[in-house]
Amino acid sequence: MTKSVWEKCLDDILFIFDILEKYSNIVVDESLELKEYETDKGADLKEAPSDFSGDFKASLCSSKESDYTVSAAINDDKGVVLEVDVFNERMQKAGHICQNVYYAKSGDSRNCDIMVDALQSHVNDLVEEKQNTFTVSDALKFLEDEIKKNNQLIRTEAAAFVLIICGFDGEERLISVFQYAFLQVKVVFAPNFAITGSGRNHAYSLLERKIWKDISLDRAENVCNEIIKFCFLRDKSTGPFAYELLIEREILLFPLCLKTLQVQSFFLFFGDHERLIHEALFR
């Protein structure tokens, strides 16, 4: 899949979530509403299961607060399918629509399988042990360990396939938007992968979509801390990218988040940006 095609797919996905956010009482049945048109090949949105399949080995998180539970994991000819019970009606409709989006193979699928299979196995163990709070921190730590163990096998291309299971509690729409956005940014959650030009551009285009607009300040600060703790502070080489992401591009819309101790410690690495950092912290 080319970059241009992928970006069109992503636009469509986020457009769907915008619709579901605006029309929370949307009805899915056999009727058509004003300005709706039937396609040549219809989809049975009522009967379709809430699963996500394809070569991204897509899945959803497990979280008590958001009523998501991983119910089963099976294999098919496309890869791993994690079937998810989604109890929130609006997100159920989003799942029905998004399951029809197919991600074509590209890059190093063999090495991708190593990473995803490891994640799948770990999730299965958690489900069996009835541990329903697999958090962002848990996923990041687990992925980092797997990268270290398979360092000779993992190539940069495989990063595009890696799915981190994120346990954000709160707004249902944000859970899926964070999932699609963050998982495509090669360097944010996987510092061992190279920071490429295309990776940066992809990060910018995804994170500049105002996905922070509905999130509370305390939750934004929590997310920011997770990113800082598990990525930027572990690898100083990601510093310039982090600086651009958080300050120059003004992606982080909550300046108060930058006043946390962890973030201030992070910026101590970059004395040449002292003036700009000061302005960002106290504007």
Full pLDDT tens readout for the chain, 283 residues = 566 776 667 666 666 666 666 666 666 666 655 555 554 444 444 443 333 333 222 333 322 223 232 333 333 323 223 333 332 333 333 333 333 222 222 333 444 445 445 555 555 565 555 455 544 445 545 555 555 555 444 433 333 333 332 222 333 333 333 443 344 333 333 333 333 333 334 333 334 333 444 445 455 445 554 444 444 444 444 444 444 444 443 444 334 344 443 344 444 444 444 444 444 444 4
* pLDDT for the residue numbered 31: 62
- Tell the burial category of 230 from Cβ atoms under 10 Å away from its Cβ (0-12, 13-18, 19+): buried
> Which pLDDT does position 58 carry in this prediction?
34
- Which pLDDT value is given to residue 91? 35
| pLDDT score of 94 | 34
pLDDT at 124: 55
The three-point CA angle 272-278-282 to 5° equals 170
DSSP three-state, residue 198: helix
The residue ranges of DSSP E strands in 58-179, in sequence order, are: 68-76, 79-86
At residue 68's C-alpha, the angle toward residues 228 and 122, to 5°, is 65
Please indicate, yes or no, whether the overall pTM of this predicted structure exceeds 0.75.
Answer: no
Helix (H, G, I), strand (E, B) or coil at 141: helix
Q: How far is 109 from 196, CA to CA, in rounded Å?
A: 19
| CA distance to 22, 58, 112, 123, per residue, from 163 (Å) | 28, 7, 10, 12
Q: From start to end of 77-227, where are the E strands?
A: 79-86
* CA triple 42-47-48, angle to 5 deg: 75
- pLDDT at residue 222, as a whole number: 52
